[in-house]
Amino acid sequence: MTAEVDALSTLRASGLLDVLTWAAPAAFAATDQVYDEDQGHDQGVVGYLNFKHLKDHLDRATSNGRFELADGLNGAGLDVLKRGITPEAFDSMPNLAADAVVRRDYKQSPGWAIPGYRVLLQSYPFGKIDDIKWVQRSDAKKRVADQLFLGDDTLFSDEEFGLESIPGIPDDDDFAGVTLVAAHAFNPMTKQFELYIGQSKNPGQNDDSCWHWKKKLLSGGTPMGGTGLPVPPAMPRGGASTDVEDVPVRIKRTGAGEGSGMANG
């Protein structure tokens, strides 16, 4: 089994892959509602808004961050989960089991983890997925791109290769496993968007790839400045709802998540 196949099958079985493919179009739609070129918004603004909206949606669907409950509570109302997203996005939100996905941040970069894998977020200009220079990103992303790649169809033992052959980032004591990157892009002018996931790497030579492997999860939009409707998968439309009932509907974990057992540096 290749590294890519193993990662994707594990992410899919856990539900985290469903959460990513749900969260991205909803996040891009939220960014589209805010973006205004006439106010000087540029690619930096788009990347920041996409990141904030994606982080919020991922936390919302996995009961983490501000959607994690305090000790002694085990349910959240519709008012909490529905506030800030469209009814369409809420209705299609994946329903994960308690503790299926937990927050495991790395050097202040938000991460969502399942046994064996963690996913961080990274924005990039649409169409430039192969041009990301990790050494010019945050220290966290540079170190993630230096992470050991064990290769495909290869088994290693500690006796043969030493402890450094264990997957993971050597200076990260809070997570044991492979850290992947979910790379996202949205062009608010054309409404085109992309979502990839893969294991990043710092190229050894100028013509090397910046990925050990990557997989396109989503793409859509209206190409080349058109004004038609987005092609599937379409982004949710309309504004976020604030008129909701306060009814307990989800069972959530207590004690785990962003506030415990995470890297804070």
* CB-based burial, 123-133: b 16+ in 10 Å, e otherwise: bbebeebeebe
pLDDT bin (cut points 50, 70, 90) of residue 173 is confident
pTM higher than 0.95 for the full model? no
The pLDDT tens digits of the residues spanning 24-73 come to 999 999 999 888 888 888 888 898 999 999 999 999 999 998 888 655 44
Among residues 65, 180, 186, which one has the least CA distance to residue 123? 186
Output the CA angle 24-28-29, nearest 5 degrees.
120
The predicted pLDDT at position 166 comes to: 56
> Which of residues 54 and 148 earns the better pLDDT score?
54
List the structure tokens of 235. 């982004």
Comparing 7-21, 144-158, 200-214, which segment has the lowest mean pLDDT? 144-158
The predicted pLDDT at position 161 comes to: 41
Section 90-115 average pLDDT: 92
List the structure tokens of 194. 């992309």
Q: How many CA atoms lie within 13 A of 73 on its CB side?
A: 11
Query: Is residue 244 a contact partner of residue 231, using CB atoms and an 8 Å limit?
Result: no
